[in-house]
Each structure stands twice: as C-alpha cells, then as structure tokens.
Chains A and B, each alone.
Chain A
C-alpha cells in the first residue's frame, strides 16, 4: 500500500511538469498532502495518540488545507495570471524530470545500505531535485513558494526513509518552519504585489553589484 502511495506521489511530480495553470499546481500540493498522510499513517507501527495528532496536523491540516487555501487566496488577491509560464517547454521539462527520477533510482540501487528504505529514498531524492529544478525554471514568484513546499514534502519523505524517529521537538520545529516560511513568503508576495506591477522574478533584480 505504501509503495502504491509513493509511486502515485512520483506521478504527481510528472503531472506537475505538464500542468499549465497555477490552480492545478496548488491542487497537486493538496493531493500530495493526502498522500503523505497515507504514507505516514501506514508507517506508524503502533497507534500513539501524540504521533497521530502530530501527523494529522502536519499532513492533513497544514499541507492539504491550510497552505493550499492560503496560496489560492494569495493568487486571487494579487490577480496573478493563471498561466504558469515556465522558461522551458513542458516537453523538455518532462524529459529532465524523468531523467532525475531514473538517475536517483540508479543511484539508490548502487548505494545498497541496509538502514535505508530504498523506495522512500528514490521518491524523496527525486522530489527534492525536481523541486529545485522547478524553482529554476519557473518565472513567477508564487511558483517558487509552491516548489519550496514540494521540496519540503521531499524532506518529509526522506525523514521517513531514514526510519529514525526524530524527537518530537525536532518535528515540531520543522512544522513551524514550513508553516512560518510559507506564510511569511505569502505575505511578502502580497507586499510585492502592492509595490510592483509584475509578479515575476524579473522584478527582483535591483539589488546587485
């Protein structure tokens, strides 16, 4: 079951590449939140109330509802055009992301470590690198935030891949990190929208030497 969820997660990355509208991106984020909840839920060895609440909070409440709703609000408020406007054509991106997935697959087969859960590792790394790739090829500021959340999802899967139970304090710290970063960045998009006309990163190149 976990394998199916993880494979679906990888497919969402491919879907992200060919999607054209910002709203689709946000919906993909919400769907990834549900998938992560499934993975984390099946991963639980014993039903511990604290763990369950924490996972519910992190995946369903924040990643599926709060962040996508907030991003929708940001997109609406600033009248951001609905096209995603990538620098590269979708077809080329599709090939590159596929290559990323294949490479991580090969690499993780080479590593062969008993402590490592291989399928988690492949999905986590490919999410991570695809997220970085998306950031570099998308023009809009809001897509950078979306890709940041995707990278964060990759890190979430990686922490499951390690299998080590991180102390709750650390998990709470990460939760705070995602929550605050996304909201701060979102608020800043609003501020940028107030000051500048275009919501492109081309507006953010005044500070240089």
Chain B
C-alpha cells in the first residue's frame, strides 16, 4: 500500500502540473484526499506489519497519520477558496497544490518509516516542499522567510545525519539492518555510551528545527508567518509532529540505555528554555500569526517536559501533541478569515470582530478557551497530567516557574483575543468589508469539538493506541 500511495501521489502531482482546468484540479485534489484516507485506513488495519523492509505502522504512527489525514481535509479544501480570491497566476497555484500534496505525502511516509535513515530522507523532503509553500507570495518577506527556512533546516538535517553517523559508530557494526528502530531497541544496552551521547545531542538539535524548540526554532516562526494560512496550519501542527516522531523514536532507544536520565535533563533544559523564550516573545509580538507560532513553541515545550519527567507524562505528552495539532490548525484557519476581513495581521488594527463575522468571533472565544487549556478543553486534561507527572517526579522547582510563565501567556492571549472580539479597531474602513462564508467555519468548529471530545472522553481505541505507543518507555 505504501508503494501505491507514493506512486499515486507522484502521478497526481504530475497530472496537476500539466493540468490547466480548474475542475480537473479540484478533482485531482479530492482524489489525493481519498488516497490519503485509504492509506491511513489500510495502515490502521495492518498495524505492526512491515512493508518493503522500511515501513512499519506502529501505534504512534497510526495516531499521527489520523491526525494528518483529518487536518489535511480542511487544509486542502480551504485552499480552493483561499487561493481563489487571491489574484495570483496559474503557475503559482499549481506549485502550491503540488507542494501541499508532497508535504502531506512526505509527512505520512516519515511517520510510518521504521528505519532511521528513511525517516531522515522524508524529513528532508518536507523541508523542500515546505519552502515552496513559504515562497508562495513571492515578495521580499517571503523570500527572506524561505531563505532562512531552507538554510536553517538544511543545517539541522545535516546535524541529524551526523548524529546517525555517530550512532553507527556506537553500534560498531556496518550493517544496514541494524539501523532499524526495532533492532536498535534490542541492541540499545550494548551501544557505546560515549558515541551514543554525541549522537543524541546531534539528532536532538537537528530535529528541534522541525519540532520548534530551543535552539533551532527560529526558522519555523518566520515560515508560519509568511506561508499561506492553510500551509501555516500544517506547519504548526503536523510538521512539528514529524520532528517529534524523529526525536521520540530515538528517545525510545536512549530510554533503554544508561543515558536515560542524562537525556531527560537535556530535554528538560531545552523544554524549559523553549517555554521561557515563547513567553518572552508572546508578550511582545503584535503579529497575530507570529503570536500563535510562539504559542506552538510553548506547547511543544510542555510536551517535552512530559516526556522528560516520564510516568504519566508520556501518556499526557502524546495526548497533548495530538490535541494541540487540532487546536492550533483550527486557529490558523481562522486567521485566514481574520486576514480576509481586516487585511492585516497586526493586532493593533484588529477589533470588533463580533460585528463583522459572528461565527468567527464565537470560534475565537471557544478557541481561546481550548488553546490556553481551560476546561472543558482536552488540552486541560493533558496539561494537568503533565503537571501531575512533574509533581510525582519531584520537579516542583521546575513546575513553579513554568506555571508562572504559562500565566503570562494566558494573560497575553486573553488580552489580544478579547481585543479582537470586543474592542473597536483603529482606522478601519467598514465599507469595503469582505463577507465571510459562515459555512467555512464549520471545519474549525469540528476540529475544536475533536479537541474537547478526545480529551474529556477518549474512545477506547484511541486510549489503547496511546498506551501502546508508549509501551517501550514504561518498563
């Protein structure tokens, strides 16, 4: 199936490239969505069966596959509308769709790959397709963002490769098969600790570019700001997940060695610094999209704290990862509407949103509750478990500063969101306002509903999948 999926994506992209008719393009994108869901369902029913030696859908891969398949539906369907209203040329639009499809394909393949080098290759492809998306508007700002993104990601990807080289020194054998995650897991106790330590540092630093943590988070912020909103929704959710899975699979190996507690401390330092940096910038930024991008960094920091402290933190981290993907992508879709109404992303010029777009304003209020992790949001459940795990692991001295920083973030979010919804904007010309189709907000509500439902009342199979995903960490 993976082969059919990869070849099918290729064929669809080629047809998109030569196609000139709008209706055919819509049909092709629909075809890709059907392919994506068929692939996801197939992998779900064939859990744990290796395909072509390099791909094996395990529990976490299936969870993330469902996440990307759910988010890619509104991302691709909203693109019609999003691209349509813009006065751009056919060529740019074609490249946009091809890049979107390639990004989704590369992410899905990276999730299911069972070989550390194959994951690396697909992560590399995500960089290339993402840079095509960031460049979509072709102005000075997007050039700068794309340049930085390609450069930082290329260097980071090279770091991951150096890490893989060190890992093969740690193995001491020159066997291709031993770089499978499964065989690494069994070989873990016999790995050379010195080289493994170096490998962990390099791989972790390399993946932070995708994951959005200190030290390599910077490129992602500009990318999310300058990319078109459907693409930014993917960047701030599923593209971060690919960094997570690259890190997580390697962390599973580290967890079986003597370096486990050392690695936990490294991760915790990075996570705490990420939350700190995110707080500092969220307090300062005026650009709505950048504010959300920094909030994603904060959430990734929380997830990493959950991983670092262990215990119930593992479960909470995976839950938080998935719920955050839904919540943040929904918010980014809404930013598209806000931009359509006000033609600016600067919070200073936004306001009175209730008057101009009722469904959007209600959504913003709900999204505020969801994204700042207040009940009944599912993120509340996962954050609560993460903090509980920190208590249990005697990290209160980390927990208290984190909570103070989170308070700052919630305060800023409340200030900015309520300003957009209730307070009148500065210098706003009401006459030329663009009507928003309320039907387009439905997908955003659906994503938020998923956040609440999955957090408060997780279905049994979802719960089992998360428990299975972390089974290698609890022993």
- Listed in ascending order, the chain A residues whose CB lies under 8 Å from chain B are 111, 113, 115-116, 128, 141, 144, 148, 151-152, 155, 158-159, 162-167, 169-170, 173-174, 176-177, 180-181, 184-185, 188, 191-192, 195-196, 204, 206-207, 209
The answer, among B143, B158, B174, B284, for a CB contact under 8 Å with A209, is B284
The answer, among B117, B138, B176, B290, for a CB contact under 8 Å with A173, is B117
Q: Is the beta-carbon distance between B140 and A177 smaller than 8 angstroms?
A: no
Within 8 A of A (CB), among B138-153: 138-141, 143-148, 150-151
Expressed in whole angstroms, the minimum distance between the Cβ of A102 and any Cβ of chain B is: 20
Q: Is the beta-carbon distance between A192 and B225 smaller than 8 angstroms?
A: no
Instruction: Give the 3 A-B CB pairs with smallest separation, nearest first.
Output: A164-B174, A173-B121, A167-B176
Instruction: Taking A164-B165, A195-B140, A206-B144 as given, write out 14 further A-B residue pairs in contact, using a Cβ cutoff of 8 Å, ordered by the A residue number.
Output: A113-B169, A148-B154, A155-B165, A158-B165, A159-B165, A162-B169, A165-B176, A166-B117, A167-B176, A170-B117, A185-B150, A188-B146, A192-B143, A195-B143
Expressed in whole angstroms, the minimum distance between the Cβ of B225 and any Cβ of chain A is: 7
Expressed in whole angstroms, the minimum distance between the Cβ of A136 and any Cβ of chain B is: 12
Expressed in whole angstroms, the minimum distance between the Cβ of A177 and any Cβ of chain B is: 6
Q: Given A185-B151, A209-B281, A177–B144 Cβ distance below 8 Å?
A: no
Expressed in whole angstroms, the minimum distance between the Cβ of A190 and any Cβ of chain B is: 10
Q: Is the beta-carbon distance between B124 and A173 smaller than 8 angstroms?
A: yes
The answer, among B124, B161, B176, B225, for a CB contact under 8 Å with A207, is B225
Of all chain B residues, the one with the shortest Cβ separation from A132 is B155
Q: What are 10 A-B interface contacts by the 8 Å CB criterion?
A: A115-B169, A148-B155, A155-B161, A158-B162, A162-B168, A173-B117, A173-B121, A181-B150, A209-B281, A209-B287
Of all chain A residues, the one with the shortest Cβ separation from B173 is A164
The answer, among B154, B174, B287, for a CB contact under 8 Å with A177, is B154
Contact of B69 with A by CB under 8 A? no
Contact of B128 with A by CB under 8 A? yes
Q: Is the beta-carbon distance between B165 and A151 smaller than 8 angstroms?
A: no
Q: Is the beta-carbon distance between B162 and A155 smaller than 8 angstroms?
A: yes
Task: Label chain B's interface by main secondary structure.
Answer: helix
Contact of B43 with A by CB under 8 A? no
Q: Which A residues touch B147, using CB under 8 A?
A: 141, 185, 188, 192, 204
Q: Given A151-B158, A155-B162, A184–B150 Cβ distance below 8 Å?
A: yes
Of all chain B residues, the one with the shortest Cβ separation from A177 is B124
Q: Which B residues touch A128, using CB under 8 A?
A: 162
Q: Is the beta-carbon distance between A188 and B143 smaller than 8 angstroms?
A: yes
Expressed in whole angstroms, the minimum distance between the Cβ of B208 and any Cβ of chain A is: 17
The answer, among A151, A184, A192, A207, for a CB contact under 8 Å with B128, is A184
Q: Is the beta-carbon distance between B173 and A207 smaller than 8 angstroms?
A: no
CA distance A181 to B146 in the complex (A): 12
The answer, among B146, B162, B174, for a CB contact under 8 Å with A165, is B174
CA distance A75 to B148 in the complex (A): 20
Of all chain B residues, the one with the shortest Cβ separation from A111 is B194
Q: Given A166-B117, A173-B124, A176-B124, A207–B141 Cβ distance below 8 Å?
A: yes
Within 8 A of A (CB), among B230-268: none
Q: Given A177-B124, A207-B144, A164–B161 Cβ distance below 8 Å?
A: no
Q: Which B residues touch A165, using CB under 8 A?
A: 174, 176
Q: Which B residues touch A173, using CB under 8 A?
A: 117, 120-121, 124
Q: Is the beta-carbon distance between B145 and A207 smaller than 8 angstroms?
A: yes
Contact of B270 with A by CB under 8 A? no
Contact of B331 with A by CB under 8 A? no
Q: Which A residues touch B148, using CB under 8 A?
A: 204, 207
CA distance A90 to B147 in the complex (A): 27
CA distance A165 to B194 in the complex (A): 21
Contact of B187 with A by CB under 8 A? no
Of all chain A residues, the one with the shortest Cβ separation from B146 is A188
Expressed in whole angstroms, the minimum distance between the Cβ of A182 and any Cβ of chain B is: 9
Q: Is the beta-carbon distance between A207 and B151 smaller than 8 angstroms?
A: no
CA distance A192 to B142 in the complex (A): 10
Expressed in whole angstroms, the minimum distance between the Cβ of A188 and any Cβ of chain B is: 5
CA distance A163 to B145 in the complex (A): 38
Expressed in whole angstroms, the minimum distance between the Cβ of A113 and any Cβ of chain B is: 7
Within 8 A of A (CB), among B204-229: 222, 225-226
